[in-house]
Structure 1
Amino acid sequence: MGKLQSKISFHTTKYRAEGSVGQTGPAGASQQHSPAHTDAVTSVAALKPDLCVSGGKDKSVAVSSWRSGAALRRFIGHEREVTKVTSALDSSRVFSASRDKTVMMWELHGTAGPSQHFPGHDLVVTGLAVSPDASQLCTGSRDNTVCKWDTETGECLGRAVISRNLVTHLCWVPGEPYVIQTSEDKTTRVWDSRELQVAHTFPAKQHIQTCCDVSQDGRYCLSSSSGSAGHGAEATSWGSTTACFLQLWDLRQTKGRVCEYKGHFQTTTSCVFLPRGPALAPSIATSSSDSTVKVWDQDTAACLATLCLEGSGPLASLAACDSSTLLCASSNSGIHVLRVSGSTELALEEVAAF
């Protein structure tokens, strides 16, 4: 486990002199940096202390300073677009899943090539979750399977198949051996990673479940849904009342829903818990194919702030860096750095893009 304990040692403070999030110029101005990817960004995840990892349709995995937009490392190895990226926060390893049916592990301080391959799925890999100590990895695919891997050896430690379980997302419960999984069969499952068995299945929803997240204390789980305001593709139907929604679940009392968050008018593509800030009530953030990001009060389900990223196209992924910083991956305009500010009246603004 020696290598797994190594800390990320990039000295990111040296990138703050120019174009940092803390120096955005006039109010309302957004710093534009060189893009991290040459095509749509499909997934973004936060790293410590001031880094992020992202994957895109350009088949590459990038490690960047979100404060400056500077690209620090770029990993090339996938044959098709990257679908998901993740990392254990205190590990020097990042992981990427792809439409090429494989998962790869990369060393932040190593060579540009992958340090480990995980080839075991028959279709595109759409779920990726690493244990807190980065010793184990769970992957999910549209082939209806969830797999568990040893990250050191690349050995497949388990494989479970459930009919119609087209995996859309995976996340590991902090401090626990459990993994949350969403699916196109409209259900959210809790897996016990020790035996790779389903420990609980939440009641099926009316729409495909697209994403999930777990609160830092491991108590609450979020899942988001696909949807459309109308049955067709007409733009005039987006203002309908059949908005997409999210569910908040209490993992200690799994008999029913705790709260719903309604407001997006197209598929809710990503959902994350925001780390608690000194003046910020428990909050969550969501992104959508309707090009908006919303921040919600976790307890009351009140929408506290909405930001429309015009021209960005569908938004694919969110990452919470700290209590005041969100990263949002978009189809047309790279990675957006968003600032959450205020307490009684919350403000959400874009401060940079790269």
Structure 2
Amino acid sequence: MAHDVFLSYSREDTDAMHRVRDALHAAGIAVWTDDNLTPGTPAWESAIARAIESSRVLVVLLSPDSRRSTWVGRELAYAEEHGIRILPLLIRGDERESVPFRLTNTQRLDGRRDFDRAVTRMTKALEQYLGKEDAPPIQTARSSADSASSSRVIRIGAIVALVAVLAVIIAVVLTVFVFDLFGTETTILVGHDDSVLSVAFSPDDERLLSGSRDTTLRLWDAIDGRAIRIFEGHTSPVTDVAFTPDGTMAVSSSLDDSLILWDVNSGEPLRIFEGHSDAVNAVAVSPDGQTLLSASADRTLILWNINTGAIIRTFTGHTGRILDVAISPDGHTALSAGSDKLVIQWDVNSGQMIRQLNAHESAVRGVAFSPDGQTAISGAADGTIILWDVVGGGMIRTFTGHDSGVLGVAFNVDNERIVSASSDDTVILWDVDSGAIIKRFRDHTANVNTVAFDADGLRFASGGNDDTVRVWDVP
């Protein structure tokens, strides 16, 4: 009997296996497991071999126990020998102790932080790969009259479905899931009428906010890509967006010289911040959620009281437009990036300049602190990214690989990877320690303006001049 999926696991992971099996069964995917057989017997070994041969995909649950399991290793080897697709799901343990060497370069799903979400993604991927997304329900025998009636219903249903599809296309609300079992899952969010200039995940990773040249912000469901609401209030392009730490509010900056604080749940503006004399290019929210720091083309930074809208202090020191800003994880220092080729480090409490970081050869377009606050990255129009020691002020290394200017940068929560957006239409994921390129993403069809990791570091989002937002699983 043919099966869709062979489920490989260690006995210590039986509970997780049952949860995966039940989820796949509920989606109509035929799963083979050995839980009804006696391990170690000739019949068991023969059954395993036949089941792998007759399956289209082998799903393996990765853990320290499965990595040590002789039988899991043999099942993987047998699947490879017979050309069976392998889809790993990491369920516990760190990668070094859970991922076998043969799978180190294989794309895998990570269920350690959110097992149910990982299983849901895996199920969607398998449904698409196996062609089960539109599978008809199981039917029983019917009379010819019933069949004729059903045929008419099916034709009517098909017409209704076609109209629904056309309506979705006309509304330009489209979510596309693409999954290569050896590649990366991508969710494409379409809805903006112009370039996407900024993206940000909510603190709980369940929502995504984007700001666009079309003057609007859009809130998306970060899990299924569904459009939730549109925020309208700016009169010029929205240059940056950020959530407050509790996720209930968001702030945006704009070329209309203002910032707006929004109620995320209603989409209503709560407060407008006015004080800059030129375009506001970027904004950052303090870790305690009490202040905002904005960066402007008027060459200043302004620290605002988020609750009253009052200006606390103004930072001066750049000789050109300030293009980006970031606040350290402890809230004590900030970094700004300017068209004057400088990155400046500031004392937030006093507004005084701590030091200038001067190594780029052209305008610095993006800046970000590492999660531990010890280092930072900056990306510039010269196509380079620089890793800085913000404690001592020295340059650690330079990342090269983009063919054009770097427009946005972000640090992963693990301090080990960064991602960059470029006007060469690509996104690059980098290894921090070596400076090596882990993966280059070429799916955007125009400049990529912005990138952001989610809080758990398992995904990142990008936005570009192709008017789309794309959400990627981190390889």
TM-score norm. by structure 1 comes to 0.80
Among 200, 204, 212, the alignment partner of 2:367 is 212
Tell whether 2:204 aligns with 1:51.
Answer: no
User: Given the alignment of the two structures, is residue 269 of structure 1 paired with residue 407 of structure 2, yes or no?
Assistant: yes
Structure 2 counterpart of 1:68:
224
Asked whether the equivalents of residues 444 and 466 of structure 2 are also in contact (C-alpha less than 8 Å), the reply is: no
Matched with 2:469 is: 335
- Give the structure 2 partner of residue 37 of structure 1: 192
Residue 160 (structure 1) aligned with residue 303 (structure 2):
no
Cα distance, 1:198–1:36 mapped onto 2, change above 3 Å = farther
Measured in 1, the distance between the counterparts of 2:299 and 2:438 equals: 37
Please give the alpha-carbon distance, in whole angstroms, between the structure 2 residues aligned to 1:32 and 1:217: 29
**Unmatched 5+ residue regions in structure 1?**
1-12, 228-243, 342-354
Secondary structure at the aligned position of 1:258 is classed as: strand
For residue 323 of structure 1, what is the aligned residue in structure 2? 457
Query: For residue 305 of structure 1, what is the amino acid of its counterpart?
Result: K
* Structure 1 moving runs of 4+ over 3 Å: 19-22, 29-34
**Residue identity in the other structure for 2:357:** F
Percent identical: 24
CA RMSD, Structure 1 to Structure 2 (Å)? 2.3
Aligned with residue 77 of structure 1, among 227, 230, 233:
233
Q: Which amino acid aligns with 2:466?
A: N
- Alpha-carbon offset, residue 33 of structure 1: 5.8
d(CA) in 1 for partners of 2:242, 2:253: 9
After superposition, the Cα gap between the structure-2 partners of 1:193 and 1:36, relative to the gap in structure 1 and judged at 3 Å, is farther
Q: Distance in 2 between matches of 1:152 and 1:210?
A: 29
Distance 2:294 2:186 in 1: 36
Taking the aligned partners of 2:359 and 2:189, their CA distance within structure 1 comes to: 43
Give the AA of the match of 1:68: D
Q: Amino acid of the residue matched to residue 418 of structure 2?
A: I
For 2:453, what is the secondary structure of its paired residue? strand
What is the TM-score of this pair, normalised by structure 2? 0.61
Match of 2:428 in 1: 294
Larger radius of gyration: 2
Measured after TM superposition, the shift of residue 154 of structure 1 is 0.4
Letter in 2 for 1:89: P
Which amino acid in 2 is paired with 1:258? Answer: I
SS in 2 for 1:252: coil
Name the CA shift for 1:332/1:199 in 2 (closer, same or farther; >3 Å): same
Amino acid at match of 1:59: T
> In the alignment, is residue 182 of structure 1 matched against residue 337 of structure 2?
yes
Residue of structure 2 aligned with 1:171, choices 326, 333, 341? 326
Separation (CA, whole Å) in 2 of partners of 1:86 and 1:45: 6
The correspondence of residues 52-201 of structure 1 with structure 2, limited to 5 A, is 52-109=208-265, 111-162=266-317, 164-201=319-356
Whose strand fraction is larger, Structure 1's or Structure 2's? 1
Could you give the per-residue CA deviations for residues 180-238 of structure 1, whole angstroms, max 9, x where no partner exists? 110000010111111212122112421111100111111110000103xxxxxxxxxxx
What is residue 389 of structure 2 aligned with on the other side?
Answer: 250
Q: Which has the higher helix share?
A: 2
Alignment partners' CA distance in 2, 1:66 and 1:224: 26
Question: Structure with the greater relative contact order (CA < 8 A, sep ≥ 6): 1 or 2?
Answer: 1
- Give the conservation status (yes or no) of the 8 Å contact 1:270–1:288: yes
| Residue in structure 2 matched with residue 314 of structure 1 by the alignment | 447
SS at match of 1:23: helix
